[in-house]
Amino acid sequence: MDAAEGLQQHFSSSSQSHHIVAHFRRSWNVPPVAPRRRFPDRMDQVSNVSTVRVFHLAAFNETLNHRITIFCLSLLCYSVILLVNVSLIVTIVLDENLHEPMYILLCVCCINALYGTTGFYPKFLADLLSSAQVISYGGCLCQAFVMYSFVCSDTSILAVMAYDRYLAICRPLRYSSVMTRKRISELVLFSWLTPFCVFSVNILLTSRLTFCDADIQRLFCVNWLIVELACPDMDTVVNNAFAFATLSIYICHWLFVVWTYVYLVQTCLHSKEDRAKFMQTCLPNLISLVTFFVIVVSDIMHMRYASEDLPQGFHNFVALAVLVVPPVLNPLLYGFKMTKIRNSIFVLVHVRWK
């Protein structure tokens, strides 16, 4: 009984003390004590940022001081790309003398250039004029798909063009029976559908991830960099394994191209006529292949192993090279070097102005 009376007296005195403190605060206008703030732990932060649905293209930071100049130069570059590629496509389509496998493949190469650059330049130009350089989650995956499929389709098309030149010079008697319209259609579909299917799987694997960061250190979305933004607890082993398998497929493309041109050069050394044919039809393709290979390999090595201490402008230059040099160089190279295309362009221009 004494213990019960003691507890009752304790609670009664505590209640009275609370009333006294409350009366004191009201009398002297003392504000109430704010409740202690609960700081989120690491798991709360992860759960908050893993719902990223908008990415920030952080590579724009150093370009914004010169945005008008860069906008004008980029618009000029995109206009030139559209002009030269559309001109070559129209020339090949309108001139029936150019409806041959080599020129059809060149036309497909120009269409692919328009596809890839359209996936980048309109968004890039809009970002230069915008106050915020952001892209939605779905838009980022779509742009990454376009960039990868563009580069890999170009690789496949150049490999098919090398095979066409191999047959024309090394197997001339079999050329017309092998390179039929049906075979050309199958090779073109292979060049387009294979990258589309492969990178559809890549993008689907990326879409299952959740992300703990939203800053992409590029001017456009790249699947490799998107995967790097995944939360630490996400399993990206499957993504990396499939990316390695994809890279292996296109390394085989390049090995085939190297073998083809080594064989072509060996064959052409024995014949003056073959040497002339090689210089006329194979040299543009070889220059295009070497340029494209150097740009793509430099970009891959730079993206994965380059030092962060390098200037952002250099990073941007390496990233943009594949979207500037091949789309401009290839139509000009083939248009001026190949006599039939050059003559056809002159005829079309003369008829137009006449």
Under DSSP, the state recorded for 64 is G
pLDDT of residue 24: 43
Encoded tokens for 354: 């006449």
- For residue 308, name the pLDDT band (cuts at 50, 70, 90): confident
Confidence of residue 354 (pLDDT cuts 50, 70, 90): low
Q: What are phi and psi of 133, to 5 degrees?
A: -95, 80
Rounded to two decimals, the pTM is 0.80
If phi > 0 it is left, if psi is from -120 to 50 it is alpha, else beta; for residue 47 that is alpha
The answer for residues whose C-beta is within 8 angstroms of residue 158's C-beta and 6 or more apart is 109, 257, 285, 288, 289, 292
**Cα 250 to Cα 47: distance, rounded to the nearest angstrom:** 38
pLDDT in tens, 156-197: 999 999 899 888 888 888 888 889 999 999 999 999 999 999
Cα 168 to Cα 107, 177, 186, 270, 277: the distances in Å are: 18, 11, 18, 16, 9
**Single-letter amino acid code for the residue at 354:** K
pLDDT of residue 341: 78
